[in-house]
Copies of this chain bind each other. A is one copy, B any other.
Amino acid sequence: MAWSGRLSLTPPTLADVAERAGVSRQTVSNAVNNPELLRPDTLARVQDAIAELGYSPNRAARNLRTRASHLIGLKFNPAQEGTANAAMDRFVHTLVETAGDSGYHILLFAGTTDDPVAAYDALLRSTAVDAFIVTDTYLGNPQAAWLTSRRAPFVAFGRPWDNPEATHAWVDVDGAAGAELATDHLLDKGHTRIAWIGWRKDSFIGEDRRSGWTRSMHARDLPTTGLASRVEDTVASGREAASVLLDEAHPSAFVCASDTLAMGVLHALGDRGIHWGRDVAVVGFDDSQVAQVVPGGLTSVRQPLEQVAVELVKALEGLLSTPPVAGPGVLLSPTLAVRLSSG
C-alpha cells in the first residue's frame, strides 16, 4: 500500500528495504526466503520495513536469477459449441486455486490445430513457464512424447493411452469405473436391458468407459450384443442412435459416454412420448451443467475434478523440487450424481 502514495511510481526494491531496516540486501532476501537464518530481532526489523514500504519481490528479477517463473502453462481447450462438455470451467477453477496455494500461477495459451507443439515450444524456449499441464489427451498425445524428449516437466490429465511405455506423470479418472457405477445403479433398480451409447472406436476414453458397461453387464451374466452404439459426440447422433436402439433392442435404460449423448437420448424419448425417468432410465457422463438444470435432472457420472487438480499440482511440485521426484500415475474414482432421469 505504502508506496502507492509516493511520487515515484516504481515499486520499492530490496535495496530500499535494506536501507530502511539498516541491513544489507542479502539479509532482506533471507528474511523473505529463509527467515530461519536471521536472528529474531533482525527478522522483525526487516519485516517491519517490508510492511511499511509495501515491498514485494520483483518477479522478473527473481525469475532471471533463479531460472524459474513459477508459472504453469495450460493450453485452454474450450468446450465445443452444441455439446454439454464444460468440464474445463470447473477444472480450471480448482486448478488455479490449488496452484495458487503452492505459489504457482496458471498461464493460459492457445494452440494452433495444425502444429500442436508449436505453442509449447515457444513458451519453453523463452523460459516463460516452469512446467505444463497437458489436458488434450483424447486421441493419443503427441505433446507428451514431445515434451518428454524435450525434458520439459509436465503432468498429463489423462493416461498415456497410445504409449503404455510412457514414464511421465499423469492423473486420470477411471472412466470404466464410472460407467460401471452407472450400470450397476441401473441394474440395482431392476433394469436388465441396458443400452450403451458411446463414441467412435478410435477414442481411447470412449472405449474405456464402454468397458465399464460391459464389465458390469457380464458380471450379472447379461448380454450386451445389439445393445451398443458408437457415434459422434453430438446431440443429433445421440438421438438417432437412441432411436435405432429403441426400435431394434427395446432397452429400458441407457448409459451414455457423455451428457451430450444423453441429451440426444432424452430428445429421442420425447419424440416418442416416452416419459424418461419413469418409463426409460437415462444416465449421462460428466455431470455438466446441462445434467444439473434439465427438468428433473439427469443422473450423471461426476469426475472428481477438484481432486484431479490437487493431484496434478502435487505431482508438479514433485517434478519441480530438487531433486525431482517422479510420481507414478494416479487414477481417481468418479462418483454418480443421481437425479430423476434414472427413476
Contact = CB atoms under 8 A, between A and B. Distances in A.
Main secondary structure on A side of the interface with B: mixed
Interface string A1-42: 100100001010000000000000000000000000000000
Classify chain A: how many residues form its interface, as a range: 35 or more
Given A64-B58, A64-B61, A89-B88, A83 B235 contact: no
A293 interface: yes
Interface in A95-125: 96-97, 100, 105-110, 121-122, 125
A4 B289 contact: no
A150 B3 CA distance: 10
A203 interface: no
Nearest to A86: B86
Contact of A93 (B76, B82, B151, B266): B76
Q: Choose among A90, A109, A149, A294 the residue with the greatest number of B CB atoms under 10 Å from its CB.
A: A294
Contacts of A288: 289
Interface in A197-225: none
Interface of A: 1, 4, 9, 11, 54-61, 63-64, 67, 69, 71, 76, 78-79, 81-86, 88-90, 92-93, 96-97, 100, 105-110, 121-122, 125-128, 149-151, 235, 259-260, 263, 266-267, 270, 288-290, 292-296
26 contacts: A4-B149, A11-B127, A57-B126, A60-B60, A60-B61, A60-B63, A60-B67, A60-B127, A63-B63, A63-B64, A76-B92, A76-B96, A78-B90, A81-B292, A84-B290, A86-B89, A89-B89, A93-B110, A96-B110, A105-B108, A259-B293, A260-B293, A263-B294, A263-B295, A289-B290, A294-B294
